[in-house]
Amino acid sequence: MGLDGGGTKTDAVLMDETGRIISRGRGGPSNPFRIGIETAAQGVKEGATAVLRNAAMKLEQVTDVCAGLAGVAAAERADAMKKLLAKFFGAARFELCTDLDLALMAAGPGPAIVLVAGTGSAAIGRDTTGRVARSGGHGPKKSDEGSAFAIGKHAVAEVLSAAGNSGSELRARIVGQLDLKSLEGIAGLEGEAADSVYPRIFPVVAKAADEGNEVARTLLRAAAASLAQFVSEVQTELNLNGAEFILGKTGGMVERSLYFDEALDAELRRIAPKSKLQILRTPLVDVAARRALSV
């Protein structure tokens, strides 16, 4: 079984010993940094239960499990999650890693940097010696720049103060998406309340930008610059400036908006002109299952 979890959902997949996908399932969010250990573990359990139900299988039939989760980079949180989940998975061999570990594995061998752009944001890279560095990925209070969460939060603040048609139009779109009467009550949200609201605004901003809304385009250009900065920091730490390497993109923000994709690619090509830019299309949950299979 492979699991890939973050601030919005937990995907799960069952794979047989030949690498064939048996079934897929989905649970709730599972980032312990954002929602706490117990709630995050519940999201993983929901994903595992769903994928087993879809395959008409029992947990006792699973031999190996790899869970790649956001928010487990800190050793204390990782240990707490591993203790809860290892107990749940029982006799199966269990490995816990970060979602960034899965992303880097998806890029293949050799030097590579992967940008993860979803509910949260981060970059991880590996040099020719196998040394790994990362930037971002520490949650909204420390380093969530350019993420769907950050875009949603900035969008609310911007449309509440912006004048002109673009601001009014985007504000109306966001109100409609969230089924609210006004946005004043969701400005400055924190914790779980913020996680349940702000990422849902990104699709609205993305669509508005593609349709020419200048406020939305300004938000996405700023997000692209912030995301590229994560890559720049990893590139510098690994001494990959001016080098050839795989530069992969993954996450729920990728291919949601032509305007955003073009803005992000332009920023990435500016800071890493010799890199091979590509979208990592293998779902990270499949990477997790293959990692479990290879143990």
Distances (CA, A) of 275 to 44, 236, 247, 265, 270: 35, 14, 6, 11, 10
pLDDT tens column, 53-111:
999 999 999 999 999 998 898 899 999 999 999 999 999 999 999 999 999 999 999 99
Distances (CA, A) of 214 to 220, 241, 284: 10, 33, 33
Residues 6+ apart with CB under 8 A from 175: 181, 182, 183
Distances (CA, A) of 142 to 57, 150, 207, 271: 41, 11, 28, 23
Q: Looking at residue 140, what is its pLDDT?
A: 58
**Tokens 């699973």 sit at which residue?**
62
pTM of this prediction exceeds 0.75:
yes
pLDDT tens column, 108-148:
999 999 999 988 899 999 999 999 999 987 665 556 799 99
219 Cα distance to chain centroid = 19
* Biggest distance spanned by C-alpha atoms of the chain: 61
Query: 121 with 242, same domain?
Result: yes
pLDDT tens column, 250-284:
989 999 999 999 999 999 999 999 999 999 999 99
Query: 48 with 13, same domain?
Result: yes
Query: 126 with 77, same domain?
Result: no
Q: Looking at residue 103, what is its pLDDT?
A: 93
Q: Looking at residue 246, what is its pLDDT?
A: 97
Q: Looking at residue 147, what is its pLDDT?
A: 94
Q: Looking at residue 225, what is its pLDDT?
A: 97
Q: How many domains does the chain have?
A: 2
| DSSP letter assigned to residue 139 | B
DSSP string of 165-192, one letter each residue: HHHHHHHHHHHHHHT-S-SGGGTT--HH
Q: Looking at residue 62, what is its pLDDT?
A: 97
Q: Looking at residue 162, what is its pLDDT?
A: 81
Query: 34 with 148, same domain?
Result: no
Q: Domain of 242: which CATH number?
A: 3.30.420.40
Q: 245: helix, coil or strand? A: coil
Query: 88 with 122, same domain?
Result: no
Distances (CA, A) of 195 to 129, 153, 289: 38, 10, 27
Query: 43 with 89, same domain?
Result: yes
pLDDT tens column, 172-222:
999 999 998 888 889 888 877 888 899 999 999 999 999 999 999 999 999
Query: 137 with 273, same domain?
Result: yes
Query: 97 with 132, same domain?
Result: no
**Please, what is the angle between helix 258-271 and helix 214-237, to 10°?**
30
Query: 198 with 243, same domain?
Result: yes
Phi-psi region of 37 (alpha: psi -120 to 50; beta: other; left: phi over 0): alpha
Q: Looking at residue 185, what is its pLDDT?
A: 85
Q: How far apart are CA 59 and CA 62, in angstroms?
A: 6
Query: 68 with 178, same domain?
Result: no
> Which structural domain, as residue segments, surrounds residue 80?
2-103+284-294
pLDDT tens column, 23-40:
999 999 999 988 899 999
Specify the length of the chain in residues. Answer: 295
Q: Looking at residue 7, what is its pLDDT?
A: 82
